[in-house]
Amino acid sequence: MAQPRRSVPLILDVDTGIDDSLALLYACASPEAEIVAVTCSAGNVDARQVAENTRAVLELAGRPDVEVAVGREAPLLRELVTTPETHGPRGIGWAELPPPVMPLSPRRSPELIVEEARRRPGEITLVTLAPLTNVAIAALREPELPRLLRRLVIMGGAYRVPGNTTPVSEWNVHVDPDAARIVFGAWARAVEADMAAGRGETAGTGVGRTSAEDVQRASWGNASPTVPRALAIGLDVTEQARLLPRHLGALADRAGTAAPALEARVRSGDAPPPENLVLRYLADALRFYMEFHETSDHFYGAFIHDPFVVAAALDDRLVRTEPVAVDVETGGAISAGQTVADWRHLWGRPANADVAVEGDADAFLERLVDRVGALAARRG
């Protein structure tokens, strides 16, 4: 008899955004995902539009019960920059969704994150698909946050590849690099404190210290602290997942709808819209996204960063990681927002992140087609 899937309590921090909306649909379609709440940050569009998009997508997925909170509406120290050229003026491309009915949470995003982490210590996985503003504020308010979460999973950074916003920076980190530095720093301090406490005495004797070799090995990231390192999934892996019109055709097949009609719609706004509202949303949102990628990346398809990260948060076998110390440049005239990973261990710091270096994009895309296609069939 098949074993039941383990429930994974999630808080999703989003700046919805086309790929954020697909990530929300993926989470709603995943039986093992317990969506505790969704918190909203300014990024792809302003925070109020993010909250409207998020609630509308959750209602489209049949999840009006999920709590949605708004956080800070600007980066910590910088002016907000949004990206209408990538996601459209409202963040959902060419798609139209009814105004949401569900109310916003009375809680603010950082408050919600801290309260839920305290309420369920060691249980919640916080998945960030947006600039790290909300998480930075939460970590400043509650320094124990790295210990209270089961894990922090970050969509952000470019570790061994070029950036997609500047030559060295990825969008989420670029919008609020100061927040990203606070978050990586909070996890670094928690790991360092944990490992320092563990190195204080030799196990079994109560006296002495570990050798210099052991300390060096720990600094190079080979030791395993009890504080979970952040799982950082950047462009190195997310740009391996290219969603193409044929994937949407397969998704339509899974939903029991004619695939050629959906593929025609995602290629042309003149093609008739599908009757299935989930498929109609996907076709119209992703058509805008694919048109952007055709211009900027020279292929008609889309990098779907955020759903890949949600899938890996639910099943980390989809990525291979390496432990490394990560910091973020905030002051460089041409390098602000760069995620700096110490692959050669020159800093001598313990690893604060498990950085994804490879991903199984084919397995993820198959899972996406199956799950979101099944959701569309149920909601059809």
Evaluated on CA atoms 294, 299, 301, 302, the torsion sign reads: negative
As a whole number of angstroms, the distance between CA 70 and CA 100 comes to 15
Answer yes or no: are the C-beta atoms of 356 and 233 closer than 8 Å.
yes
Give the global pTM: 0.92
Count of beta carbons in the 10 Å neighbourhood of residue 291? 17
Answer yes or no: are the C-beta atoms of 299 and 293 closer than 8 Å.
yes
pLDDT at position 4: 43
pLDDT at position 217: 47
pLDDT at position 5: 58
**Biggest alpha carbon distance in the chain?**
76
Answer yes or no: are the C-beta atoms of 309 and 153 closer than 8 Å.
yes
Angle at 129 between CA 125 and CA 130, to 5 degrees: 125
- E-only strand ranges, 225-325: 230-233, 242-243, 302-303, 319-324
Domain segments of the chain: what residues?
8-199+207-254+303-379
As a whole number of angstroms, the distance between CA 330 and CA 327 comes to 10
Structurally, what CATH architecture does the domain formed by 8-199+207-254+303-379 represent? Alpha-Beta Complex (3.90)
Angle at 278 between CA 250 and CA 276, to 5 degrees: 85
Residues 6 or more apart in contact with residue 177 via CB below 8 angstroms: 78, 169, 328, 329, 330, 336, 337
pLDDT at position 6: 79
Q: What backbone phi and psi angles, to 5 degrees, belong to 78? A: -125, 165
As a whole number of angstroms, the distance between CA 156 and CA 173 comes to 6
Answer yes or no: are the C-beta atoms of 92 and 285 closer than 8 Å.
yes
Query: What tens-digit pLDDT sequence spans the chain (380 residues)?
Result: 344 457 999 999 999 999 999 999 999 999 999 999 999 999 999 999 999 999 999 999 999 999 999 999 999 999 999 999 999 999 999 999 999 999 999 999 999 999 999 999 999 999 999 999 999 999 999 999 999 999 999 999 999 999 999 999 999 999 999 999 999 999 999 999 988 887 433 333 333 333 334 444 444 455 566 889 999 999 999 999 999 999 999 999 999 998 898 899 999 988 999 999 999 999 999 999 999 999 999 999 999 999 999 999 999 999 999 999 999 999 999 999 999 999 999 999 999 999 999 999 999 999 999 999 999 999 98
Answer yes or no: are the C-beta atoms of 232 and 352 closer than 8 Å.
no
